[in-house]
Amino acid sequence: MDSLCRGVFAGNSRELSVRSCFPSLFQAERTHRSVLLGLLLGAGQSPQPDSALISQARAERWSQWSLRGGLETLPQALNTHLTSRGVRILRGQPVCGLSLQADRRWKVSLGDSSLDADHVISAVPASVLGKLLPAEAAPLARALSAITAVSVAVVNLQYRGARLPVQGFGHLVPSSEDPGVLGIVYDSVAFPEQDGSPPGLRVTVMLGGSWLQTLEARGAVFSQELLQQQAQEAAATQLGLKEPPSHCLVHLHKNCIPQYTLGHWQKLEAATQFLASQRLPLTLAGASYEGVAVNDCIESGRQAAARVLGSEPDS
C-alpha cells in the first residue's frame, strides 16, 4: 500500500484516507467486512458512464491510453472545438479574486480588469480557490484551504540501443528503499510507436511527493541538473541503464497532486453543504475532490457541466 499510495498520490500512506483515495476498497470492507471478499462479490463498484469509446476500452481491456501526439493534444483539441463555436478563452490573465454582487452574480477580478459571471465552475486547486473567495464565504474557504497538495518532478529519459531487463507498465518504489523515487514508467513498452526515429528506449522517472515536500519545507532548492542526476541514478540502479541518456526532459510540477488525507470526505461534505445552504452559483471540479487521475478530472468536468445545465450526468 505504501508503494501504491506513492504511485497514485505521491503521498504518505500513513496520512492518506482509504475512504477518499480508494473508495472501492472502503466500500468492499464496509459491506462484507473484508476487502478481498467485497471486491470478489463486486461491492464498491459505482455505476459507470457508457459510450462507444468506453465499450471499446472494456472489450479490448485497456489498462492505459494515450494520444498519438501526446496528451497535450487533448486540451489543444478542446480549445479548437470551443473557440470555433464562439467561446472566448482568456489566457495569461490569472484570477485575483471573486466577489458576490447584490444580484447574486460573481465579479471576477483579473488584475486590471474584471468580468461578470452568472455561474463559476472552478477547476483550480482547492487551496487556490480558497484564497480567491470573498469574506462571506469564509467557511467554504477554510474547508478548501485544508486540502493540500505535493510537488512531483517528472524526468523523461531516452536511451539509444538499450533494452529493459523486464517488460511491463513500470514499477513503484516503496519509501523504505528510496524515499525520493516514486517509480519508473516503461513508456516504450506501452507505446512503442512514440519512440521516435531512430527509435530509442523511453522511461519516465517520477521523483518527489511528500518526500520533496519535506525537503522544500526545510528550504532545499532543486535544480534540473540535480533532478536529472537522481533520475539517471535510479534508472541505472533499478533497470541497469548505465549509459548516459541521449535525451532528457525535466519538469518540476509544483503542488500538482492533491492529498486526500484523513477527514477529506468531511471537508467535501462541509463545502457541499455550504454551497447548498448559501445557494452560491459556484461548482467545484478538478483533481482536488474525488480523483486525481486524468480520467477522474475528465469525469469531474463532465459532471460539473451537467449540474450547471440541470441535466443528468450520464446523458
Is the domain of 121 the same as that of 269? yes
Number of residues in the chain: 315
Kindly report the CATH number assigned to the domain that includes residue 102.
3.50.50.60
* Domain assignment present for 83: no
Where in the sequence is the domain holding 198, given as residue range(s)?
150-258
Do strands 282-284 and 120-122 pair parallel, antiparallel, or not at all (unpaired)? parallel
Examine the domain organization and report whether 171 and 247 are in the same domain: yes
In angstroms, the CA 96 to CA 225 distance is 34
**Type of residue found at 251:** H
**Helix 264-278 with 138-145: angle, nearest 10 deg:** 160
Together in a domain, 119 and 268: yes
- Is residue 138 located within the same domain as residue 170? no
Residues linked to residue 206 through DSSP beta bridges, in sequence order: 154, 183
Cα dihedral 130/72/291/12 (nearest 10): -80
What string of pLDDT tens digits covers the 315 residues of the chain?
899 999 999 999 999 999 999 888 877 777 777 767 766 666 555 666 678 888 899 899 888 888 988 889 999 999 999 999 999 999 999 999 999 999 999 999 998 899 999 999 999 999 999 999 999 999 999 999 999 999 999 999 999 999 999 999 999 999 999 889 999 999 999 899 888 888 899 999 999 887 787 777 787 778 899 999 999 999 999 999 999 999 999 999 999 999 999 999 999 999 999 999 999 999 999 999 999 999 899 999 999 999 999 876 654
Q: Is 33 within the bounds of a domain? A: no
Same domain, 267 and 126: yes
188-197 burial code (b ≥16 CB/10 A, e <16): bbbbeeeeee
| Last residue within a domain, chosen from 216, 237, 258 | 258
The residues, any chain, with a CB within 8 Å of residue 203's CB and separated by 6 or more, are 156, 157, 159, 164, 170, 184, 185, 186, 187, 188, 235, 239, 241
**242 with 273, same domain?**
no
* Residue at 79 is within a domain: no
Looking at residue 175, which CATH number applies to its domain? Answer: 3.90.660.20
The answer to whether residue 192 sits within a structural domain is: yes
Are residues 128 and 196 part of one domain?
no
Whether residue 127 is found in the same domain as residue 267: yes
Considering the domain architecture, whether residues 169 and 245 belong to the same structural domain is answered as: yes
Domain boundary among 235, 258, 281: 258
- Domains of the chain: total: 2
Q: For residues 161 and 286, state if they share a domain.
A: no
**CA distance linking residue 224 with residue 250, whole number of Å:** 6
Q: What count of other Cβ atoms lies within 10 Å of the Cβ of residue 184?
A: 23
Does a structural domain hold residue 169? yes
Tell me the three cell numbers of residue 2: 505504501
| Residue 209 shares a structural domain with residue 267 | no
Are 252 and 104 members of one domain?
no
211 part of a folded domain: yes
Residue 19: all three cell numbers together: 475512504
pLDDT at 305: 93
